[in-house]
Amino acid sequence: MKQMHIIKRSGQEVPFDVTKIENAIRKASNAVDPIEALSEDRIKLIAKEVSGVCEARDRAMHVEEIQDVVENKIMELGSRIVAKKYIVYRYKRELARKANTTDEQILSLIECNNEDVKQENANKNPTINSVQRDYMAGEVSKDVSARLLLPQDIVQAHKDGLIHFHDMDYYAQHMHNCDLVNLEDMLQNGTVISGTMIEKPKSFSTACNIATQIIAQVASNQYGGQSISLTHLAPFVDVSRQVIRKELENECAAAGVTMAADKFDAIVEKRVRKEIEKGVQTIQYQVVTLMTTNGQAPFVTVFMYLGEARNEQEKKDLAMIIEEVLNERIKGVKNEQGVYITPAFPKLIYVLEPENISEDQPYWYLTELSAKCTAKRMVPDYISEKKMLEYKVDKNGNGNVYTCMGCRSFLTPFIDENGKPKYYGRFNQGVVTINLVDIALSAHGDMERFWQLFEERCELCHKALQCRHERLTGTLSDAAPILWQYGALTRLQKGEPIDKYLHGGYSTLSLGYAGLWECVYALNQKKLTEPEGEKLGLEIMRKLNEFTAKWKAAENIDYSLYGTPLESTTYKFAKCLQKRFGVVKGVTDKNYITNSYHIHVTEPIDAFKKLEIEAKFQRLSPGGAISYVEVPNMQNNLPAVLAIMKYIYENIMYAELNTKSDYCQVCGFDGEIEIVKDASGKLIWKCPKCGNTDEAKLNVARRTCGYIGSQFWNQGRTQEIKERVLHVS
């Protein structure tokens, strides 16, 4: 039998020891009347049955999961009286542990033994002090939130995996999720960072430097993603141009040189290009080297949209910035061995629009460069201007194009008091996700029961979202001056509450959803790729939207449906489902569940058909969602990348291409690092060339939740990555 492992309550992973199960059963048996006691053979048989269940799960099970299995097996193969004693024993032990619920978790964090937390976030390195400090604070915050701040039905539903109350480790503080930074206001009108006045920059490179400082400050005052637009930096190109022009005039005068106008202009533009290169390099290198107070690089997205430019000169300058950003990303950043690898941040979004979508358009060269960048580094991701104008229509009847907040969370259209659309300076209050798979399995094929449970769980999520909203209500601007006083979101006075921005559609609350694929399959044994499955899936999506619309109308708070980017939660939900329902073929037989509305990663389907089907679901996810296609190395097949990009423009609002970009520090292998099983059955990463399995000596980049992750993943997500099929052959 393979060497199995278990995960203790502290999060530490240790070898599975069947004798501990035998001893626990024996203690329970010894506590009952000898007539009711179990024989030694029966005790060993029960322990053997439990071992078989653990081995079949194909992952390290938590000790509480194993204890649940023990209870069931005692009742199945032994005695209900012994089982009752075992349950009482567990209960008493649980009461003793509740005297202090966080000590063991914190100690295991410090010693880097907490397997759950170590792989919770693929962009955090759990071995460094700042990350450990953030995780330790998070454990305390979760404990306080669960015991004192949140209703117990919400806490229990979160624990059981019926819902997921996102970012509970930040709930105790008055913090929100993600936002669109009003970089334009901060650069044009000045801001304050750490008590220091920052005035309007006098060059493009200075503007880029200030932008990175703003990004770091914003990331330290909220817990989600943020986005900035390159359009807000574009005016400073001409600021630098005028400075360079004046400097060159002075140089010529000092040297007594008269220069032809065209030659003079060419030198100026050459220097402008160098200034842009300098500024863009600042953004790239500072973003990947900055560390915020939560011990990670800022989760920042950079938006590249020519249509935002206010005049032709600004559009040309913006195009130069975009070109340099793409070139820098293609080059990558050096790892500790000096080898260029794929950085996780910033995430890039490139808008496909009439001026860049076909070969005869002036900015087609940028689209070709984007294709090259995607093939090499997995970004940029793509927004279709055509489809977004169709989807995001405001109350004036006009379509709008704007970036998501971070990886996929989209605001709903909003018209300000001047009748103008507004996006920058807005934010999301928080997310709660409903586990659709659990509802389907709980209904046992009864559709009437499904819709009844569906409503109950949606209202439970509604209650949890109201907790999010109420936690922010009354927050003073002093809680995060960079956000509320100095322009990132708005410019309130000191001591002024933020309440007015929590209502009226200015900010959003997100109802997330997960596992639509498994939910539909559990109900009617059909896939989303089949007509009957698609019909039911779309009906479920419409019902979810009906709930958010109802809550919004009743409360004047903008609730929106959000395709949750499950990372660690995909594993958590899968484990909870297996605990409640066992292994159900096609539904709970994986250690992960499917993100949002996505077609299952194992489903054979070509890229175009996948995007065609998922576009129908994406439109019903107005609070955010992204579709992807899994591709092989496309660096020598850019026409295929461009064909997919053109298809995105015509058919779906927001999509990305997933390729691989890995490196082995031991042998220099540059390709795809493999996922294999070790002797215990655990999934590990292995260099196919030299066999290196030391994660500290592997650079692996994969997209798992909209962002690129580079710090490895839990067992559920690793299995999902391993099982992904290609959508382009």
Which of 368, 391, 414 terminates a domain? The answer is: 391
Residue 158 resides in a domain: no
**Residue 247 structure tokens:** 């400097």
**Same domain for 137 and 237?**
no
Q: Domain containing 76: what range?
A: 5-99
Instruction: Tell me whether residue 54 is one of the annotated catalytic residues.
Output: no
**Same domain for 208 and 114?**
no
Q: Which residue among 567, 630, 656, 720 is the active-site one?
A: 567
**Same domain for 373 and 277?**
yes
Instruction: Tell me whether residue 430 is one of the annotated catalytic residues.
Output: no
**Same domain for 231 and 305?**
yes
**Same domain for 294 and 225?**
yes
Q: How much is the pLDDT for 66? A: 84
Residue 37 resides in a domain: yes
**Same domain for 329 and 190?**
yes
**Residue 46 structure tokens:** 């029960």
Which of 370, 391, 412 terminates a domain? The answer is: 391
**Same domain for 325 and 274?**
yes
Interatomic CA distance for residues 242 and 203, integer angstroms: 9
Q: Where are the alpha helices (DSSP H) in 407-494?
A: 436-443, 447-472, 481-484
The contacts of residue 262 (CB under 8 Å, 6+ apart) are none
Give the residues of the chain that fall short of pLDDT 70: 1-2, 9-11, 78, 91-137, 291-296, 705-706
Residue 447 resides in a domain: no
Q: How much is the pLDDT for 122? A: 47
Burial of 465 (0-12, 13-18, 19+ CB in 10 A): buried
Q: Which residue among 10, 29, 123, 177 is the active-site one?
A: 177
**Same domain for 94 and 109?**
no
Q: How much is the pLDDT for 128? A: 61
Residue 379 resides in a domain: yes
According to DSSP, the residues that pair with 7 across neighbouring strands are: 13, 62
Instruction: Tell me whether residue 307 is one of the annotated catalytic residues.
Output: no
β-pair type (683-686, 698-699): unpaired
SS3 510: strand
Instruction: Tell me whether residue 136 is one of the annotated catalytic residues.
Output: no
Q: Which residue among 562, 628, 663, 707 is the active-site one?
A: 562
Instruction: Tell me whether residue 304 is one of the annotated catalytic residues.
Output: no
Instruction: Tell me whether residue 178 is one of the annotated catalytic residues.
Output: yes
Q: State which amino acid sits at residue 340.
A: Y
Q: Is 28 in contact with 82 (CB distance < 8 Å)?
A: yes
Residue 458 resides in a domain: no
**Same domain for 123 and 192?**
no
Quote the number of domains for the chain. Answer: 3
SS3 19: helix
**Which residue spans within 345-422 are E strands per DSSP?**
347-352, 381-384
Identify the residue whose tokens are 């920059």.
Answer: 201
Q: Is 405 in contact with 300 (CB distance < 8 Å)?
A: no
**Same domain for 86 and 203?**
no
Interatomic CA distance for residues 617 and 598, integer angstroms: 9
Q: How much is the pLDDT for 156? A: 96
Using alpha carbons, select from 405, 326, 422 the residue that is nearest to residue 365. Answer: 326
**Same domain for 214 and 335?**
yes
Instruction: Tell me whether residue 562 is one of the annotated catalytic residues.
Output: yes
Interatomic CA distance for residues 394 and 496, integer angstroms: 29
Q: Is 565 in contact with 628 (CB distance < 8 Å)?
A: no
Provide DSSP, 301-365.
EEEE-GGG-SSHHHHHHHHHHHHHHHHHHHH-EE-TTS-EE----SEEEEEE-TTTSSTTSTTHH
Phi then psi dihedrals of residue 216, to 5 deg:
-65, -40
Interatomic CA distance for residues 30 and 82, integer angstroms: 9
Q: Which residue among 178, 208, 541, 645 is the active-site one?
A: 178
Which of 391, 408, 430 terminates a domain? The answer is: 391
Residue 135 resides in a domain: yes
Interatomic CA distance for residues 689 and 25, integer angstroms: 47
Measured distance between the N- and C-terminal CA atoms of the chain, rounded to whole angstroms: 38
Q: What is the pLDDT of residues 227-283, one digit of tens each?
A: 999 999 999 999 999 999 999 999 999 999 999 999 999 999 999 999 999 999 999
Q: Which residue among 138, 406, 706, 709 is the active-site one?
A: 706
Q: Is 381 in contact with 348 (CB distance < 8 Å)?
A: yes
Q: Is 720 in contact with 681 (CB distance < 8 Å)?
A: no
**Same domain for 258 and 351?**
yes
SS3 405: strand
Q: What own/partner pairs with CB < 8 Å and gap ≥ 24 does 189-197 have?
A: 189/487, 191/482, 191/486, 191/487, 191/488, 192/481, 192/482, 192/485, 192/486, 193/217, 193/482, 193/486
Instruction: Tell me whether residue 407 is one of the annotated catalytic residues.
Output: yes
DSSP H or E segment with residue 279? helix 261-289
Q: Is 458 in contact with 434 (CB distance < 8 Å)?
A: yes
Interatomic CA distance for residues 154 and 515, integer angstroms: 20
Instruction: Tell me whether residue 61 is one of the annotated catalytic residues.
Output: no
Q: Which residue among 405, 519, 645, 653 is the active-site one?
A: 405
Q: Which residue among 168, 175, 186, 407 is the active-site one?
A: 407
Q: What is the pLDDT of residues 331-359, one digit of tens each?
A: 998 888 888 888 888 999 999 999 999 99
Q: Which residue among 229, 428, 658, 692 is the active-site one?
A: 428
Residue 329 resides in a domain: yes
Q: How much is the pLDDT for 238? A: 98
Residue 667 resides in a domain: no
